[in-house]
């Protein structure tokens, strides 16, 4: 309960009329039960934290059914506190708390008696029971708040562990790359195969291993498409191969890995894309360092000989044309001259990934690992990459690609590696994606037929009753023979079931996108819009754009990289202001954006549930949290993923969180 104690004196209030709290409540909470209204006013005039008061007022508005939904109650509460904030006065009349002249009371006053009278009034009004319910709800809410703080702290620690692990992997990968190039110069290029036998693949999010008793063999001149559902271990397997924790990878084999995220230190953030790409040629970098060292001072005869050898090697790898070749490579991947001139820190996440892809191709490693390389490429760049990976250069190397672009995989892959999350198995086969898919469907159908036949035969054998033949010795002999045949068939069926497990498909996860209700009229009107960036030398990206978007509009924006597709989207959602013309957005329209790079949209330090709670805090209740959990599940973010840091999720799983 709340007891307000007011000084008894003969002073006059410094502020005439109603308090700010009373005025705001009278305006916004008209029709509310009078006793509850008075109670809310007394709360607002108190000195509690604003967040606690907001929670309490929201609970009151729901409890007394003044608001039909939690969303309405939160909105009403927000309006109330906005009105208090704009009034320019505190919720309570601080001037009224000033102490006036003291005087002697005619009789003593018992605060206990005053409290008792207050409680009688509360009980008579019927408010008492509701206050108990509301106070219990508030207490429960505080517990949940404390629990969420603990969960946030735990998630952050998990995130930091993952980041530390990734940083160590990056450092190990770079060190191994430098070592392999050095060994190549001594031993020559590695010409054998890469094998991994009977390994397990740990789950970075914890829990059961992603793969058990797995194995693969990689051959030169082959391009392997690594396929499987979201979150089943494709990216984790690539990282394991890259960091050499999976498989028996010879130390002189050069490996280059392009992930869906690019980690950059302070030095590389200041480089241009061209510098970043050229730096990826480790052999050139080491030879240049050798040449610089051998050129110092007066070289001896031996040093001069070595310097001549180094310079010959630099000529052989066309070191002097490295910058020009890097420029051409970046252009093929869609970089304009303006983008090539930016620093890495000024590039979006998608352009950083493209730069890393260009660097990997430029380095020409023995083993190239690409994780979703086409995600950020234009159609032209995808076609160029497909042609590049089928050139003679890569026919002497090994390539493993994770991609959900079936057309691209069919174009470039010669073999398939499939991860079944249900079976925790890795299977390898010849042929591109379409060949694998067709063959797998046929294998599944064949196994189903064989299993059905064996099950029927086993049943017939087990159902044989010797009594039908008179239970003679001959009949018993036939019975025993049939039982042995049934046992043999059951053993064969068990083997078939084991084979079928490897062919088992992972269930397609749900993705339920619900409409927000019909919106009449135009959601967005674009009238004569033109745009250019503020730099004085920049040119108009587009001008005189006329377009209307209503509830039935479905638009595909097409155009080359840098022509302003994303800029137009930012204008529509209000992130940018038009240079010319105007954009009119309906007041009733809700506009949401799922952009092309998850790290630009999702806080990777938060779990999916924490991210959703920050976006949609609601009233903080358990019911609201369950609503968000259910919504995440409907988009394929299952319960076991909802409390993991988003950094531990696969790219596909993060896409589902964004959606």
**Beta carbons within 10 angstroms of residue 497's beta carbon:** 12
Q: Cα–Cα distance between 401 and 369 in angstroms, integer?
A: 6
Sheet (strand 367-371) strand order = 255-258, 367-371, 398-402, 223-227, 415-420, 425-430
Asked whether 351 and 376 are in contact (CB, 8 A), the reply is: yes
| Mean pLDDT, range 536-552, rounded to an integer | 86
Place of tokens 């509310």: 32
Structure tokens at 158: 């998990």
pLDDT at 103 over 90: no
Q: Cα–Cα distance between 593 and 403 in angstroms, integer?
A: 23
Greater confidence, 107 or 519?
A: 519
Q: Is residue 286 within a helix (H) or strand (E), and if so which, with residue range? A: helix 282-294
pLDDT at 617 over 70: yes
Q: Cα–Cα distance between 638 and 615 in angstroms, integer?
A: 19
pLDDT at 94 over 60: no
What is 26-84 written as a DSSP string?
HHHSTTS-HHHHHHHHHHHTS---HHHHHHHHHHHHHHTTSSSSHHHHHHHHHHHHHHH
pLDDT at 222 over 90: yes
**Beta carbons within 10 angstroms of residue 473's beta carbon:** 8
pLDDT at 241 over 50: yes
Q: Cα–Cα distance between 366 and 545 in angstroms, integer?
A: 49
Asked whether 95 and 15 are in contact (CB, 8 A), the reply is: yes
When computed from its CA atoms, the radius of gyration of the chain, rounded to whole angstroms, is 35
Structure confidence by residue, pLDDT tens digits, 487-499? 888 888 887 777 7
Banded model confidence at residue 90, pLDDT cuts 50, 70, 90: very low
Give the bridge partners for 216, in sequence order: 196
Q: Please tell me the predicted confidence (pLDDT) of residue 314.
A: 85
Q: Please tell me the predicted confidence (pLDDT) of residue 600.
A: 65
Q: Which of 658, 569, 655, 646 is nearest to 229 (CA)?
A: 655
Asked whether 306 and 294 are in contact (CB, 8 A), the reply is: yes
pLDDT at 11 over 70: no
Structure tokens at 168: 């160590």
| Mean pLDDT, range 381-393, rounded to an integer | 92
Q: Please tell me the predicted confidence (pLDDT) of residue 508.
A: 76
Q: Cα–Cα distance between 201 and 228 in angstroms, integer?
A: 15
Place of tokens 């059914």: 65
Q: Is residue 531 within a helix (H) or strand (E), and if so which, with residue range? A: strand 522-531
Q: Please tell me the predicted confidence (pLDDT) of residue 545.
A: 94
Q: Please tell me the predicted confidence (pLDDT) of residue 7.
A: 41
Asked whether 434 and 404 are in contact (CB, 8 A), the reply is: no
Among the ranges given (103-117, 131-145, 332-346, 531-545), the one the predictor scored with the smallest mean pLDDT: 103-117
Structure confidence by residue, pLDDT tens digits, 28-65? 888 777 777 777 887 787 766 677 777 778 777 876 77
pLDDT at 385 over 90: yes
Greater confidence, 638 or 163?
A: 638
Q: Which of 379, 386, 404 is nearest to 558 (CA)?
A: 379
Q: Cα–Cα distance between 457 and 451 in angstroms, integer?
A: 10
Q: What is the mean pLDDT of the chain?
A: 82
Q: Cα–Cα distance between 476 and 492 in angstroms, integer?
A: 25
| Mean pLDDT, range 415-426, rounded to an integer | 89
| Mean pLDDT, range 454-458, rounded to an integer | 89
Q: Please tell me the predicted confidence (pLDDT) of residue 220.
A: 93
* 144 Cβ contact list (under 8 Å, min separation 6): 620, 621, 622, 625
Q: Cα–Cα distance between 633 and 225 in angstroms, integer?
A: 29
Q: Please tell me the predicted confidence (pLDDT) of residue 91.
A: 45
Greater confidence, 368 or 243?
A: 368
Q: What are phi and psi of 543, to 5 degrees?
A: -145, 160
Alpha carbon 8 to its chain's center: 61
pLDDT at 5 over 50: no
Backbone φ/ψ region at 605: left (φ over 0), alpha (ψ -120 to 50), beta = alpha
Q: Please tell me the predicted confidence (pLDDT) of residue 352.
A: 87
The three-point CA angle 547-551-555 to 5° equals 50
Banded model confidence at residue 529, pLDDT cuts 50, 70, 90: very high
Q: Please tell me the predicted confidence (pLDDT) of residue 8.
A: 38
Q: Please tell me the predicted confidence (pLDDT) of residue 13.
A: 42
Q: What are phi and psi of 338, to 5 degrees?
A: -65, -40
The CA–CA distances, whole Å, from 208 to 211, 244, 448, 608, 636 equal 9, 21, 28, 21, 20
Q: Cα–Cα distance between 180 and 282 in angstroms, integer?
A: 10
Q: How many CA atoms lie within 13 A of 485 on its CB side?
A: 17
| Mean pLDDT, range 324-338, rounded to an integer | 91
Q: Cα–Cα distance between 110 and 612 in angstroms, integer?
A: 51
Burial code (b: 16+ CB inside 10 Å, e: under 16) for 84-114 equals beeeebebbbeeeeeeeeeeeeeeeeeeeee
Tell me the three state secondary structure of residue 380: helix
Q: Please tell me the predicted confidence (pLDDT) of residue 114.
A: 55
* 551 Cβ contact list (under 8 Å, min separation 6): 518, 519, 520, 523
Among the ranges given (114-128, 291-305, 469-483), the one the predictor scored with the smallest mean pLDDT: 114-128
Structure tokens at 183: 């060994």
| Mean pLDDT, range 575-586, rounded to an integer | 93
Structure confidence by residue, pLDDT tens digits, 625-639? 999 999 999 998 988
* 395 Cβ contact list (under 8 Å, min separation 6): 221
pLDDT at 622 over 70: yes
Sheet (strand 580-585) strand order = 542-550, 522-531, 580-585
Greater confidence, 156 or 371?
A: 371
Q: Please tell me the predicted confidence (pLDDT) of residue 534.
A: 81
For 634-637, the CB contacts below 8 A with 24+ separation are 634/510, 634/511, 634/512, 635/510, 635/511, 635/512, 635/513, 635/659, 636/230, 636/509, 636/510, 636/511, 637/608
Q: Please tell me the predicted confidence (pLDDT) of residue 89.
A: 45
Structure tokens at 515: 């409409």
């Amino acid at each position: 309960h709340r007891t307000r104690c007011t000084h008894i004196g003969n002073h006059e209030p410094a502020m005439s009329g109603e308090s700010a709290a009373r005025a705001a409540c009278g305006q916004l909470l008209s029709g509310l039960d009078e006793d509850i209204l008075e109670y809310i006013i007394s709360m607002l005039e108190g000195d509690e934290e604003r967040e606690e008061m907001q929670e309490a007022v929201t609970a009151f508005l729901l409890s007394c059914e003044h608001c039909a939904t939690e969303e309405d109650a939160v909105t009403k509460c927000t309006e109330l506190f906005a009105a208090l904030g704009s009034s320019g006065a505190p919720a309570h009349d601080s001037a009224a708390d000033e102490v006036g002249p003291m005087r002697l009371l005619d009789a003593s006053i018992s605060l206990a008696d005053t409290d008792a009278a207050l409680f009688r009034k509360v009980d008579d009004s019927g408010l008492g029971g509701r206050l108990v319910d509301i106070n219990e709800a508030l207490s429960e809410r505080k517990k949940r708040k404390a629990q969420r703080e603990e969960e946030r702290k735990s998630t952050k620690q998990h995130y930091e562990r993952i980041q530390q692990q990734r940083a160590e992997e990056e450092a190990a990968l770079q060190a191994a790359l430098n070592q392999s190039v050095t060994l190549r110069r001594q031993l020559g290029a590695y010409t054998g195969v890469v094998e991994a036998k009977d390994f397990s693949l740990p789950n970075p999010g914890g829990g059961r291993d992603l793969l058990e008793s797995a194995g693969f063999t990689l051959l030169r001149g082959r391009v392997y498409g690594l396929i499987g559902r979201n979150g089943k271990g494709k990216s984790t397997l690539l990282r394991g191969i890259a960091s050499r924790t999976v498989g028996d990878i010879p130390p002189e084999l050069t490996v280059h890995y392009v992930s869906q995220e690019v980690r950059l230190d302070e030095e590389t953030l200041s480089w241009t894309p061209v510098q970043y790409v050229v730096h990826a040629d480790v052999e050139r970098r080491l030879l240049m360092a050798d040449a610089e060292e051998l050129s110092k001072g007066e070289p001896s005869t031996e040093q001069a000989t070595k310097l001549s050898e180094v310079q010959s090697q630099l000529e052989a790898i066309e070191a002097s044309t490295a910058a020009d070749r890097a420029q051409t490579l970046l252009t093929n991947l869609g970089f304009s001259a303006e983008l090539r001139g930016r620093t890495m820190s000024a590039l979006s996440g998608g352009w950083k990934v493209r730069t890393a892809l260009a660097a990997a191709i430029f380095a020409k490693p023995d083993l190239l690992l690409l994780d979703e390389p086409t995600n950020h490429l234009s159609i032209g760049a995808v076609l160029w990459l497909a042609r590049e990976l089928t050139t003679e250069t890569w026919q002497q190397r090994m390539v493993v690609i994770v991609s959900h672009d079936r057309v691209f995989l069919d174009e470039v892959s010669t073999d398939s590696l499939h991860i079944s999350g249900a079976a925790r198995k890795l299977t390898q086969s010849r042929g591109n994606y379409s060949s694998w898919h067709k063959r797998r469907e046929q294998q599944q159908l064949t196994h189903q037929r064989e299993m059905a036949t064996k099950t029927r035969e086993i049943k017939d054998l087990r159902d044989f009753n010797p009594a039908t033949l008179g239970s003679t010795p001959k009949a018993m002999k036939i019975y025993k023979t049939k039982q042995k045949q049934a046992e043999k068939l059951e053993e064969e069926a068990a083997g078939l079931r084991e084979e079928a497990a490897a062919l088992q498909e992972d269930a397609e996860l749900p993705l339920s996108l619900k409409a927000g209700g019909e919106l009449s009229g135009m959601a967005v009107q674009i009238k004569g819009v033109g745009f250019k960036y503020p730099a004085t030398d920049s040119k108009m990206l587009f001008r005189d754009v006329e377009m209307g978007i209503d509830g039935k509009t479905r638009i595909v924006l097409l155009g080359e990289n840098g022509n302003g597709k994303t800029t137009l989207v930012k204008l529509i959602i209000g992130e940018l202001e038009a240079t010319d013309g105007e954009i009119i957005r309906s007041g009733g329209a809700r506009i949401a954006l799922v952009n092309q790079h998850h790290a630009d949209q999702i806080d990777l330090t938060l779990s999916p549930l924490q991210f959703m709670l920050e976006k949609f805090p609601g009233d903080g209740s358990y019911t609201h949290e369950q609503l968000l959990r259910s919504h995440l599940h409907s988009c394929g973010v299952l319960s076991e993923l909802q409390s993991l840091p988003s950094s531990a999720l696969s790219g596909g799983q993060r896409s589902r969180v964004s959606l």
